[in-house]
Structure 1
């Protein structure tokens, strides 16, 4: 069975909103290797609407950028109740039907794992539905004070720490699984 692997850049105070505005000073080869390891295990990306729109505004227009071959070439499933189409970024498809049922069906299908990048609302919903198998948090040494948090005060989600690695930039890469 495939795994759902969610990877998020978050601040010390749990904010994962708009990482493009604060995370790049911490990017290095260590973080690139950690993110690359997730991508190498997956053959499909699962993205929420906001994350898809942000990524779609960059990647299709920058085919020479490092990582563009993976970002543009990997099939993307987009979760949205407001988008009519996802033609702006090749290899993107709207995920139809009930989210939990559709993702459970995807997990049971053939192929490699499915990765989620960012997509706080989507990740939160799949954690609550117990469909996330690994949660990779790249915790940055910065407190942002305001913004959307991964955990929004909803129900308890017990997790178990599988590993943790500290990068030279002070970023902590933690990997959790459902407890």
Structure 2
């Protein structure tokens, strides 16, 4: 049985996904929390870039009390894209050794539970465009941001299928896509 692979990013209306804390403002409420909870339900493995892993590994372990995301991320198995080589990194984390696309493809055939790609930007972009990520959810906030976009000018024209959509009372459009054909 093949495990599903998802990714979820917060996005400004101009496509910026870098530093969402700078454009989310007051547009994250209970509905967004419920949608994230539903997305992460059943996920046992997280693929993550080294920089984001470093930030989270310093922040989340001591902030475990009552936070729903901490309850998810702290026990999850984390697979870290890093040039440091393979092996145990602590915090239930393993360095990905070799090609990340091949690694995640192999991961879909081993173990149980879902797999999510948490970031960074290049990690999500690479794995999604390689067809390894089954669905990509973008929570588009009603704001214009500054910074890097998920799909910059280096990405060729790529067709997507809209799999699901909802608009929250905070004005966020939650859009889930898959690659077309």
User: Normalising to structure 2: TM-score of the pair?
Assistant: 0.90
Change (3 A) 1:61 1:84: farther
Instruction: Give a deviation string over 1:43-79, Cα, whole Å, max 9, x none.
Output: 1111112221222231012121412121111111111
Residue 115 of structure 2 corresponds to 114
Aligned residues: 177
| Map of 1:75 onto structure 2 | 77
- What stretches of structure 1 move > 3 A for 4+ residues in a row? 82-87
In 1, the alpha carbon distance for the partners of 2:10 and 2:25 equals 10
Distance 1:143 1:90, change over 3 A: same
**TM-score normalised to structure 1 length:** 0.91
- Give the deviation of 1:131 after TM superposition: 0.9
| CA shift for structure 1 position 18 | 1.2
1:92 CA drift (Å): 1.4
Aligned position for 1:57: 58
Measured after TM superposition, the shift of residue 157 of structure 1 is: 2.4
Structure 1 residues 21 and 55: alpha-carbon distance in aligned structure 2, compared to 1, 3 A threshold: farther
1:128 and 1:13 map into 2 onto residues whose CA distance is: 20
Comparing 55-64 with 28-37, greater Cα deviation is found at: 55-64
List runs of 5+ in structure 1 lacking aligned partners: none
Instruction: Say which SS state the counterpart of residue 41 (structure 2) adopts.
Output: helix
Partner Cα distance (1:155, 1:32) in 2: 33
Cα separation, 2, equivalents of 1:29 and 1:138: 14
| Mapped partners of 2:85, 2:23: distance in 1 | 27
Counterpart position of 1:152: 152
Higher mean C-alpha deviation, range 62-71 or range 131-140: 62-71
Please, what is the CA RMSD of the aligned residues? 1.8
